[in-house]
Structure 1
């Protein structure tokens, strides 16, 4: 993996991430393909109608649905799905925990939400799953904390996350030394709630981690900011980013996990974040919420029944080029499956275009003007 920082505009950054399945220009939004697919879309849509160069898959769900041995036999996630771009896979730790898993020093014990069978995720087990998936970027197992949380629980989370990060790096370094995992890259995840001293502790410990095998030193390929968008306000999130992103190496990519609204993305870019993912574009699309340059609109509203304009007059997506608000409104009200595809294509393309436009503004040294224009247009629709 190579990361080239191409331009800065204040703290906002434009870069190029080179992975084994192609280049990714940053800042970038990664559509979420939990089961190895974006809901309602196939990979012709992803590549031709969206132009997405990297998407996110979910280790927990793919492990339970397919399994390590079957995934290896099927040639990994790229061959299995037919997607020629890059995959980032999360560790599955959030799902294991949120579905009732019990955390111990060794890992997370959980019951499958599918059949109730018992499973145990360790740092090494998670990486083994991701090797089978052949992920281009692999998130390691961390100990996520929902907010608000006690200081004792946050400290426990940081200590456990650092412990698991060291175990993960040692295991990954061993695979590399044996000629394996040559195209798989790993990111560590910073925890610490919204408190500066906790974030400093977590980030400094993770950035300092090294593993040496046969005289070769290994370190993390990138760093993620976790534990946000879990109950705190947007203002708390932004304040946390203000003191967290400077703690991360400037020559490596920075990934804000699970965030969020268009406003969240713009504000995080302004604070030096490079990579994002969130289910919001597709989940909101399925529930009639459409994102536009001018704010959100609810396509189920009767006001759109005779509206022949596109969803967004400034959007170049397949949906906006071919269909009217009236038709999309009709599909939603009729519970047609095609609605989900067309609305998801639009929302995802909007997000991808938003970050592409932010990148161009950074390259031109005009990001602050771009940011002001972004807010000036958002008068809102209903």
Structure 2
């Protein structure tokens, strides 16, 4: 259905939900434009006003000072890193994946354990995404949503990435997909996604949505946007029912997910539609061209309610993080810090380097001079280089700790820079050094 002809959004009757929603809150702290005075040239280069801000998200399991990077623990673990280590390096929250936990060990196991946090021995706030990205990935074979490669936008809407098999099929009611573990056939719908996420028990959940790719035509993007709007209403209805029936459980916040790909009118329409619904916050999702990231985030945040938090799904490169922050994203997540660590890559203020190089064999300094993480305080580049060459599992653990700390601290410092009034200077210094 074309965006211009879809019915106006209407919120379902959700008796009792508003009372429970008071257990979750967000408050704006300092706005970027209150402490910094960007030049006209900076505003023009950004394409519009800067919407960055600090804030506080309050959940039943603690607070999150924003902007904040959320560590990804896809299967109830940040790969190769103990939950205690994630807390020690300063991460405020972790995000797990509903699709993966649904398949293994099953949401009923997490429910019986007391929820995601209790199951993985993490006492802080938790997120679960809805599985929408996995549906897209199973359906199209694409593994990234930012700056997709090998995309021919003139191709058919049901095209798949080269060498991939379509494992998911979408209809207006939901999705059929094959398990990547054993090939079993499963059904996900907005209602099932809510049931699964309520059992998993995270503090913040995301509504089930259809994530399109840059491959899809404008006509399909419009059709998909309407499908996601209707699914959002169904998610809210099921969420209210489950919240009422699961007496004694902590309140779980529900975020609506904004789609619309690279189209301004579709993004703004999605924000207006879902912004009128009683969500606790919003996720900005979908396929993005890297060069348009800031523009798309700004479009969305110009429309979304200012008193609700906004989470940008799936970014961790320093330039993307600063772009997201200054355009109003409050939280974001990505698997990249631990994924690259497993291939011996480590972050420094001067860029990303690969520890497998021979020059590190006798380098007895830390991964990063001055870094306060457990790895840098206790181990040398030479030792971790040896661990990788010897294929010892602890090698990935040590670099993952450092990489997570690097990104978490960079975002923490950006938050402090907004409050102190030197955000743009901090951004220029950080990115100038990192990409030099």
> What TM-score, normalized to structure 2?
0.81
CA, structure 1 residues 316+228, in 2 after alignment: closer, same or farther (shift >3 Å)? farther
Q: Partners in 2 of 1:341 and 1:179 — Cα distance? A: 37
Q: Which residue of 1 aligns with 2:175?
A: 108
1:225 aligned residue (278, 284, 292): 284
Deviation at residue 177 of structure 1 after TM alignment: 4.3
Distance 1:65 1:176 in 2: 24
Match of 2:430 among 341, 355, 374: 374
Q: Match for 1:365 among 421, 427, 430?
A: 421
Q: Which runs of 4+ in 1 moved over 4 A?
A: 177-182
2:28 is the alignment partner of 1:5 = yes
Match of 1:194 in 2: 262
Name the residue aligned to 1:166: 233
Deviation at 1:74, TM superposition (A): 2.3
- Give distance in 1, aligned partners of 2:272 and 2:331: 20
Structure 1 portions without partners, runs of 5+ = 210-218
C-alpha displacement of 1:189: 0.5
* Residue 314 of structure 1, CA deviation: 3.5
SS at match of 1:31: strand
Instruction: Find the aligned partners of 1:179 and 1:75 in 2 and give their Cα distance.
Output: 13
Look up the match of 1:16: 56
Who is 1:312 aligned against?
Answer: 368
Specify the alignment match of 1:90 in structure 2. Answer: 129
Cα deviation for residue 241 of structure 1 reads 2.0
Confirm or deny: 8 A CA contact 1:30 1:277 kept in the other structure. Answer: yes
Is residue 56–residue 89 contact of structure 1 (8 Å, CA) maintained in 2? yes
Q: Which residue of 2 aligns with 1:294?
A: 350
Q: Is the 8 A contact 2:67 2:325 kept in 1?
A: yes
- Separation in structure 1 between the aligned mates of residue 262 and residue 127 of structure 2, nearest angstrom: 26
SS at match of 1:329: helix
Distance in 2 (CA, whole Å) between partners of 1:147 and 1:379 is: 27
Determine the structure 2 residue equivalent to 1:276: 332
Deviation at 1:223?
0.6
Count of aligned residue pairs for this structure pair:
367
Question: What's the CA shift for 1:251?
Answer: 1.1
**Residue range with higher mean Cα deviation, 174-183 or 36-45:** 174-183
Instruction: Give the conservation status (yes or no) of the 8 Å contact 2:68–2:92.
Output: no
Pick from 31, 38, 56: which aligns with 2:78?
38
- Secondary structure of the residue that 2:72 maps to in structure 1? coil
Question: Alignment partner for residue 149 of structure 1, among 190, 206, 216?
Answer: 216
How big is the shift at 1:149? Answer: 2.0
Deviation at 1:288, TM superposition (A): 1.7
**CA offset at residue 179 of structure 1?**
6.4
Contact 1:93-1:108 at 8 Å conserved across structures: no
Aligned partners of 1:97 and 1:108 also within 8 Å = no
How high is the TM-score relative to the length of structure 1? 0.92
Which of 1 and 2 has higher RCO (CA within 8 Å, sep 6+)? Answer: 2
Alignment partner of 1:339 out of 365, 390, 395: 395
C-alpha distance in structure 2 between counterparts of 1:64 and 1:152, whole Å: 33
State the distance in 2 between where 1:288 and 1:161 align. 39
